[in-house]
């Protein structure tokens, strides 16, 4: 792959990685009533469903809660219309893929949701090959 | 001679057809002092303007002055019951500021606004027609005119909407909502000033100004096709005052 193509691939993947952290704030609604920006939660487990839709895409995966009980987690992502432009497709994350996620936890008692998440493969590498994982950014308010 | 005549007629027909449908997508600045060139696909996303929120586009300098009815609605409103979680589309003054793309198509008798967000279409009639009570709709009924290099749009005949003014702050709108928009070009920018009055909820008109930039060449509006399951999925993550 020549240098120009490599640069473009990295650029697209970086954009995809950034979208995975900031896209939920893209204005269908504010994240503040739903997720607590002052806290952080981490979990790891296999993907169970990837809902690639508008107004928001959702990634579901199974991981233990703080008591060790397996629960289904829900990560809120940006709209499919935005994710598509960074190269994501409904097939990007297949069921069974192990992911690691950290992000803002949902506020509702008993819920297991996350937004503004940093999502990687189990070994810490980006979801999209060639991408670069960066620190979380506080979504715009 | 006959061939020249046929070619000439064909050219005349082709020219008349082209002039009959002004759907130019060049996004070049106005050719006419009176009719601005608004046609094309415009980017209203985060690279162009701050993303909407509780304080954008309604901030401390222009936040609407609410009357007692609006304040009472805000008290009972809860994000969990917002109709957008059931795929109800946005309307003015919110939809102009949603951070997605918009296509403008200019024709002699109308201007059509296609919004990527919620797949909404607004038709602005330029032919002088006026709405009747049968023309109430979620996007209202829009009439317009060109004036001093701008497109002026006046819209009313809206349905009642529990978040029809602003869904971040839970401000409703009534069938008395009237939206006045002024669109013009400044170089590459498409700009608008949106002014809203609604005697049922606002003590005085409220206004904001914003802009779009041309979308990249070849861009096509994505289908929004709101999914009911995906739309409602965030709600269970939020504590609600209602069970």
Q: What is the mean pLDDT of residues A104-128?
A: 91
Q: What is the pLDDT of residue A16?
A: 44
Q: Which of A30, A98, A55 lies closest to B89 in space, CA to CA?
A: A55
Cβ separation of B84 and A29 shorter than 8 Å? yes
Least confident window among B14-18, B96-100, B198-202, B204-208: B14-18
Select from A26, A29, A107 the Cβ nearest to the Cβ of B239: A107
Q: State mean pLDDT over A124-136.
A: 58
Cα B221 to Cα A8, A56, A108, B160, distances in angstroms: 23, 17, 35, 28
- If you average pLDDT over residues B182-201, what whole number do you get? 98
B243 within a domain of the structure (yes/no): no
Q: Please compute the mean of the pLDDT values over residues B170-194 and round it to a whole number.
A: 97
Name the domain count of chain B. 1
Among candidates B182, B193, B180, B188, which has minimal Cα distance to B212? B188
> For residue B105, how many other CB atoms are within 10 A of its CB?
20
pLDDT digits (tens, 9 = 90+) for A21-68: 433 345 677 788 899 999 999 999 999 999 999 999 999 999 988 888
What per-residue confidence (pLDDT) applies to B9?
Answer: 52
Show the domain range for B128: 2-237
Q: Do B51 and A28 touch (CB under 8 A)?
A: no
Largest CA distance in chain A: 51
Q: Kindly report, residue by residue over B127-162, the tens digit of the pLDDT.
A: 999 999 999 999 999 999 999 999 999 999 999 999
Report yes or no on B91 lying in a domain.
yes
| B26, pLDDT greater than 50 | no
CA distances from A111 to A92, A101, A106, B166 (A): 25, 16, 7, 28
A63 within 8 A of A52, measured Cβ to Cβ: no
**pLDDT over threshold 70, residue B46:** yes
First to last CA, chain A: 40
Q: Is residue B219 part of a domain?
A: yes
Q: In degrees, to the nearest 5, what angle opens at C-alpha A88 toward C-alphas A82 and A92?
A: 145
Query: What CATH class does A3-121 carry?
Result: mainly beta
Contact: B224, A55; criterion CB under 8 Å = yes
Average confidence (pLDDT) over B76-98:
93
Identify whether B242 is part of a domain.
no
Q: Report the C-alpha dihedral over residues A99, A104, A106, A110, rounded to 10 degrees.
A: 60
Chain A positions contacting chain B at CB under 8 Å are 25-30, 33-35, 51, 53-58, 74, 76, 79-81, 84, 106-109, 111, 113, 140-141
């Amino acid at each position: 792959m020549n240098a120009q193509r490599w640069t473009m691939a990295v650029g697209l993947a970086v954009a995809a990685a950034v979208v995975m952290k900031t896209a939920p704030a893209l204005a269908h609604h504010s994240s503040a009533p739903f997720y607590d920006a002052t806290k952080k939660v981490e979990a790891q487990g296999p993907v169970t469903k990837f809902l690639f839709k508008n107004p928001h895409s959702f990634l579901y995966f199974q991981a233990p809660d703080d008591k060790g009980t397996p629960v289904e987690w829900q990560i809120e992502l940006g709209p499919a219309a935005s994710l598509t432009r960074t190269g994501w497709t409904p097939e990007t994350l297949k069921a069974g893929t192990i992911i690691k996620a950290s992000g803002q936890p949902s506020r509702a008692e008993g819920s297991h949701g996350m937004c503004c998440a940093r999502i990687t493969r189990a070994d810490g590498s980006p979801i999209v090959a060639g991408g670069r994982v960066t620190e979380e950014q506080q979504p715009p308010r | 001679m006959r061939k020249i005549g046929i070619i000439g007629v064909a050219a005349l027909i082709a020219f008349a057809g082209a002039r009959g449908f002004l759907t130019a997508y060049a996004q070049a600045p106005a050719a006419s002092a009176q009719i601005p060139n608004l046609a094309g696909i415009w980017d209203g996303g985060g690279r162009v303007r701050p993303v909407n929120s509780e304080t954008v586009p309604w901030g401390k300098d222009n936040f609407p002055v609410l009357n007692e009815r609006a304040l009472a609605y805000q008290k009972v409103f809860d994000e969990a019951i917002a109709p957008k979680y059931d795929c109800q589309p946005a309307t003015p003054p919110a939809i102009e500021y949603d951070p997605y793309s918009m296509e403008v198509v200019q024709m002699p008798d109308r201007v059509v606004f296609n919004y990527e967000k919620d797949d909404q279409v607004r038709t602005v009639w330029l032919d002088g027609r006026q709405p009747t009570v049968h023309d109430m709709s979620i996007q209202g009924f829009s009439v317009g005119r060109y004036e001093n290099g701008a497109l002026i749009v006046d819209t009313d005949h809206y349905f009642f909407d529990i978040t029809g003014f602003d869904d971040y702050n839970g401000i409703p709108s009534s069938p008395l909502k009237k939206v006045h928009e002024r669109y013009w070009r400044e170089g590459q920018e498409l700009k608008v000033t949106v002014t809203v009055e609604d005697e049922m909820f606002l003590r005085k008109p409220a206004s904001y100004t914003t802009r779009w930039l041309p979308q990249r060449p070849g861009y096509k509006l994505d289908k929004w096709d709101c999914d009911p399951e995906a739309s409602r999925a965030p709600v269970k993550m939020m504590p609600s005052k209602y069970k």
